[in-house]
Amino acid sequence: MTTTKLVYQKFCEEEKSIPLFLQYQWFDAIYKKEEWDVVIETKGENVLGFLPYVITKKKSFKIITPQFLCPYQGVWLNYPKNQKYTNKVGFEKEVLTSMIEQLPKVDAFKQNFLPEFTNWLPFNWKGFQQSTRYTYIINDLTDTEKVFADFKENIRREIRKAEKLLTIETIDDISLLYQLKLKVYQDNKENYPIPFSKLKKVFDFCKSSHCGELLMAKDEQGNIHSILFYVWDKVSAYYLHGVTTTKFKTSGSMSLLLWEAIKKSAKKTTAFNFEGSMVESIERYFRAFGGIQTSYFQISKTNSKVLKLLNY
């Protein structure tokens, strides 16, 4: 293991506020050692910030790109305590600029940064581009009755209806989600892009680390209506993956599972992130759960002239 990874590992073991998708343990469990690395900025023995990444090889190109089942990547900054705002922005510029300069030479870079990250100017000054994306977040899970009251009426109606017809179980068989997801994609004549090996690695890590759970809704006949995979850290819970069978897509089962996940998350963390989609129909559905529309950055840069021409 490189010295940089050792520093990263030690820091993540000591600092408990690092989001799940940026933790050393996440990368170490899910990716091969040669697939991922991290750049770190330090001052003495203090870690000021880090940026982990996965390098994917596509044909003759080496690219840093968003990974399936890893909704956020980007940087994590270890701000000094009691900073004035002007010093905070200066700290961001200094640390981010140094980490950008440490990034490996690749043909293209693209990552979705955490919603908490708001200052992408140092990336702009280094020739990167930014696209704004959106998610919905319920920021306070303290009062679940209020959370439920903030749902749109049609969502509350769906949940009440589903509660009478369906039961919820916590399950450990991730292959059920995979098989149902595969069937839905096949019904739509599309290719399901996530390999089972990747889905299982993510689930096994979250289960063994006690930061993820698989919920299933089924009827009295044993028919599976929906399965939901959600995860959590100290900051938030996240809807990571899910499926509703085509035959039962109007039963309200996914709304029921999301509500169950929200109630369970209230005992583990402070917020619930729906991992909002830029697809209009999915955005409309997630918005109905009363979360706050929250922007986050997709930051990218294409270095290869060939890729620039292909993208154009």
What whole-number percentage of the chain has pLDDT above 70? 100
Indicate whether 164 and 59 sit together in one domain: no
User: What does the pLDDT look like over 130-180, one tens digit per residue?
Assistant: 999 999 999 999 999 999 999 999 999 999 999 999 999 999 999 999 999
Indicate whether 123 and 152 sit together in one domain: no
Indicate whether 116 and 181 sit together in one domain: no
> Domain with 249 in it: what CATH number?
3.40.630.30
Indicate whether 282 and 160 sit together in one domain: yes
Q: What is the mean pLDDT of residues 248-274?
A: 97
pLDDT, the chain, mean: 96
Residue 128 has pLDDT above 80, yes or no: yes
Indicate whether 149 and 279 sit together in one domain: yes
Indicate whether 159 and 262 sit together in one domain: yes
Indicate whether 284 and 144 sit together in one domain: yes
Indicate whether 100 and 216 sit together in one domain: no
Range of the domain at 202: 140-290
- What is the number of domains present in the chain? 2
User: What does the pLDDT look like over 208-255, one tens digit per residue?
Assistant: 999 999 999 999 999 999 999 999 999 999 999 999 999 999 999 999
Q: What is the mean pLDDT of residues 285-309?
A: 95
Q: What is the mean pLDDT of residues 245-269?
A: 97
Indicate whether 229 and 192 sit together in one domain: yes
What whole-number percentage of the chain has pLDDT above 90? 94
Q: What is the pLDDT of residue 275?
A: 86
Indicate whether 120 and 15 sit together in one domain: yes
Residue 301 has pLDDT above 90, yes or no: yes
Q: What is the pLDDT of residue 40?
A: 97
Q: What is the pLDDT of residue 276?
A: 72
Indicate whether 159 and 239 sit together in one domain: yes
Q: What is the pLDDT of residue 257?
A: 98
Residue 278 has pLDDT above 70, yes or no: yes
Q: What is the pLDDT of residue 312?
A: 59
Indicate whether 21 and 38 sit together in one domain: yes
User: What does the pLDDT look like over 80-97, one tens digit per residue?
Assistant: 999 999 999 999 999 999
Residue 2 has pLDDT above 90, yes or no: no
Which three-class secondary structure string do you get for the chain?
Answer: CCHHHHHHHHHHHHCCCCCHHHCHHHHHHHCCCCCEEEEEEEECCEEEEEEEEEEEEECCEEEECCECCECCECCEECCCCCCCHHHHHHHHHHHHHHHHHHCCCCCEEEEEECCCCCCCHHHHHCCCEEEEEEEEEECCCCCHHHHHHCCCHHHHHHHHHHHHHCEEEEECCHHHHHHHHHHHHHHCCCCCCCCHHHHHHHHHHHHHCCCEEEEEEECCCCCEEEEEEEEECCCCEEEEEEEECHHHCCCCHHHHHHHHHHHHHCCCCCCEECCCCCCHHHHHHHHCCCCEEEEEEEEEEECCHHHHHHHC
User: What does the pLDDT look like over 34-57, one tens digit per residue?
Assistant: 999 999 999 998 999 999 999 999
